[in-house]
Amino acid sequence: MFVLCLGTMLASFIEPTSEAAFYKFVILFGGSFGICNGLCYIVPLRICYEYFPDAKGFVSGVIIGGFGLGSFLFGFISTMLINPENRTSTDGVYDESVTKNVPLALRIFAAIWGSIALIAINFLYPIQKVE
């Protein structure tokens, strides 16, 4: 989550002045998001498999459903933050009243994801095996 929050925060400060800015944004945001999803997807599965060895299918479904629900909810949140007036684009280009909201929205997302991560970390602890 640290990689995701840092990459998102750094990507929010990129000024869209050149074509190189697009590639910097893709590397920072896309790379950090991809790394985070790859790492954060497996960890809860592995831990929950240890806690619920007889219900691996159910646990997988709940966790994967949670990932999907998060994407669904953050779609609405991003629309509320970036385009609250529901403006339409002209030839795929939005006016400045919409685009100026993107950096702040990315910073808010980094704060939200970091807060969620700090809460989630408190729930991670190893199983005490009784023999």
Residue-wise pLDDT tens digits, 61-110: 999 998 889 889 999 999 999 998 888 877 777 778 888 899 999 999 99
With respect to residue 106, please indicate whether it lies within any of the assigned structural domains: yes
With respect to residue 15, please indicate whether it lies within any of the assigned structural domains: yes
pTM score of the predicted model: 0.78
With respect to residue 11, please indicate whether it lies within any of the assigned structural domains: yes
- Alpha-carbon distance of 62 to 64, in angstroms, equals 6
**Sign of the CA dihedral running 20, 104, 75, 1:** positive
CB 33 within 8 A of CB 4: yes
With respect to residue 44, please indicate whether it lies within any of the assigned structural domains: yes
- Alpha-carbon distance of 13 to 107, in angstroms, equals 9
Number of domains in the chain: 1
Number of CB atoms found within 10 A of residue 106's CB: 23
Number of CB atoms found within 10 A of residue 29's CB: 20
Residue-wise pLDDT tens digits, 39-54: 877 888 888 888 889 9
